[in-house]
Amino acid sequence: MFKLPLILKLFRRTAGINRKRMVMTVAAIAWGTLSIVLLLSFGEGLKRNLTKGSRGLGEGIIVIWPGATAKVFAGFPQGRNLRFVPEDIQLLEANIPEIALSSAEMRRWGNTVTYGRITLTKPVVGVEPSYGELRNQLPQSGGRFLNLRDEELKRRVVFLGNDLKDELFGDKDAIGETIYINKTPFMVVGIMVKKIQMGTYGGPDANNAVVPLSTFRALFGRRYVSDLVVRASAPELNEAVKKRLYDVLGGKYRFDPTDERALSMWDTVESQKITANISIGIELFLGVIGGLTLLIGGIGVANIMYAVVKHRTKEIGVQMALGAKRAYVIGPLVVESLSLTALGGVIGISVGVGLVKVLAFVQSKADSEALEFMGAPTFSFAVAFTTVVLLGAIGFLAGYFPSRRAVSIQPAVALRYE
């Protein structure tokens, strides 16, 4: 028995008192909406940046460094330093089918890197072709990452981090140019796409010169790797893979598979979870602040609706005497409260979206690391949805409670009210 057209008609017939107060209240709702839109948009931007940053190192990868044994095992004493060789990658791939992609990595600091008159001291990394995908080192258009032929033929080719390229070449095109690493000529085949990288080991990737592992070994005569990088076929398999790594490497290097100190590992799935939790925390915090601001506007609406109910007590009494059921009294008041809230919400969201666009533009132009790290404020669907749900709830409650009071009055009493 809930007739919407009638309720709307009654609303139309009784709306329109307290104009000044209504304007103030709509402004309060608009202000609250604006705050929540801005705060949530900043939160969203920061979250996206954090997520992107946590992926900068590589998605779902495990980096394995050799450690030192801490347990006596098979006649070996504890405290034995372990060292891995590039062939361990084949051993792991053969024994751990969950591993989808893997690469050995060698790293050397203090190399001279020369182009023309510029000579810099930079780290050089020797890796296998899959490393580019594992570690999110993607080539800018016009270039490529190292490939299998480079590896097989020990080509002297180099993939440059974008910062290193800028230092050496400035704005000049670098692909196909020759640079010297420790006085050996290398051809530049690719430049890394700029990325946000929050976790590093051995410095940011943007600063590195990456060469094929085989070339690296020939050039520097290295036998042992710095670390191994693997990725499971699915992130959920990481825990199982980590356990298997102890078994397989323990089998080869004769250490106790329960000896945690024998390997040190960085599991980015784990750190991404932590990042995700932190950003949820930040968003929640910002959302609560915005929500509270909006709530103040909601209290304004409720206040108006109480005034409206008081003002119309006699009219409500007349309507009840004529046979208006509770829904017909509550309905128009809730509709009125919702429309006030909706009006404020539309204004707040419009201004908010405009401001977010302006701020995002400013952020993209500003040359500040702090701003860059914070990320561009983003008005996402989630932000819009949260705002609208909050507005709706506040509007409904701000109309419902005053109207509950209205229908709780005895019609006989309401009729006598002046």
Does position 311 bind other proteins by CB under 8 A?
no
378 φ, ψ (degrees, to nearest 5)? -130, 120
| Minimum CB–partner distance for residue 24 and other proteins (Å) | 22
- Count CB neighbours of 52 within 10 A: 15
Longest dimension (CA), the chain: 102
Q: Find residue 68's DSSP bridge partners.
A: 81
Residue type, 280: I
Residue pair 70/209 in contact (Cβ under 8 Å)? The answer is no
Residue from 131, 169, 216, 328 that binds other proteins (CB under 8 A)? Answer: 328
Interface mask toward other proteins for 261-300; x: CB under 8 A:
----------------------------------------
| Contacting residue, 324, 330, 335, 390, with other proteins by CB under 8 A | 324
Beta carbon nearer to other proteins, 269 or 320: 320
Instruction: Kindly report the number of other CB atoms within 10 A of residue 243's CB atom.
Output: 12
Residue pair 297/25 in contact by the 8 Å Cβ criterion: yes
Q: Are strands 61-66 and 227-232 parallel, antiparallel or unpaired?
A: antiparallel
Percentage helix, strand, coil for the chain under 3-state DSSP, each rounded to 5? 55, 15, 25
- Between residues 22 and 157, which has the closer beta carbon with respect to other proteins? 22
Choice from 23, 280, 325, 389 touching other proteins (CB under 8 A): 325
315 makes contact with other proteins (CB under 8 A): yes
Q: With contacts defined by CB under 8 A, name the span among 51-59, 110-118, 372-380, 410-418 that binds other proteins.
A: 410-418
Compare residues 27 and 415 and give the one whose CB is closer to other proteins.
Answer: 415
Residue number with CB closer to other proteins (238 or 319): 319
Our finding on whether 320 is near other proteins (CB under 8 A) is yes
Is residue 187 involved in binding other proteins (CB under 8 A)?
A: no
Nearer to other proteins by C-beta: 194 or 326?
326
> Of residues 194, 224, 326, 361, which one binds other proteins by CB under 8 A?
326
What does the block give as tokens for 263?
């390997």
Dist. CA 37–CA 50, nearest whole Å: 20
Per CB under 8 A, the segment of 56-64, 93-101, 314-322, 380-388 that binds other proteins is 314-322
Q: How far is the CB of 25 from other proteins (least distance, A)?
A: 20
| Residue 310 binding other proteins, by CB under 8 A | no
User: Which are the contacts of 104, defined by CB distance < 8 A and separation ≥ 6?
Assistant: 84, 86, 88, 89, 127, 128, 213, 225, 227, 228, 229
Q: Can you say whether the dihedral through the CA atoms of 166, 170, 171, 176 is positive or negative?
A: negative
Over 296-318, what HEC string results? HHHHHHHHHHHHHHHHCHHHHHH
Residues in Cβ contact with 64 at an 8 Å cutoff, skipping those fewer than 6 apart: 84, 227, 228, 229, 230, 245, 249, 263, 264, 265
Query: Contact between 333 and other proteins (CB under 8 A)?
Result: no
**Single residue of 4, 74, 322, 370 touching other proteins by CB under 8 A:** 322
Please select the residue that binds other proteins; options are 90, 178, 258, 410, rule is CB under 8 A: 410
- The answer to whether 6 contacts other proteins (rule: CB under 8 A) is yes
Q: In the bound complex, what is the minimum distance in angstroms from residue 413's beta carbon to other proteins?
A: 9
The residues that bridge with 157 in the sheet, in sequence order, are 187
CB of 335 to other proteins, least distance (A): 15
How far apart are CB 354 and other proteins at their closest, in Å? 37
Please list every residue from 144 through 183 that binds other proteins, using CB under 8 A: none
Comparing CB distances to other proteins, the nearer of 385 and 417 is 417
- Scanning 140-148, 221-229, 321-329, 368-376 for contacts with other proteins by CB under 8 A, the matching segment is 321-329
Residue range at the interface with other proteins (CB under 8 A); choices 3-11, 18-26, 116-124, 342-350 = 3-11
Question: Does 415 interact with other proteins (rule: CB under 8 A)?
Answer: yes
Helix (H) or strand (E) holding 66: strand 61-66
Report the site for other proteins in 10-29 (rule: CB under 8 A): 10, 13-14, 16
14-40 in b/e form (b: 16+ CB < 10 A) is: beeeeeeebeebbebbbbbbbbbbbbb
Q: Which of 171, 323, 368, 369 binds other proteins (CB under 8 A)?
A: 323
Burial of 171 (0-12, 13-18, 19+ CB in 10 A): exposed
Question: Binding residues for other proteins, per CB under 8 A?
Answer: 1, 3, 6, 9-10, 13-14, 16, 314-315, 318-326, 328, 407, 410-412, 415
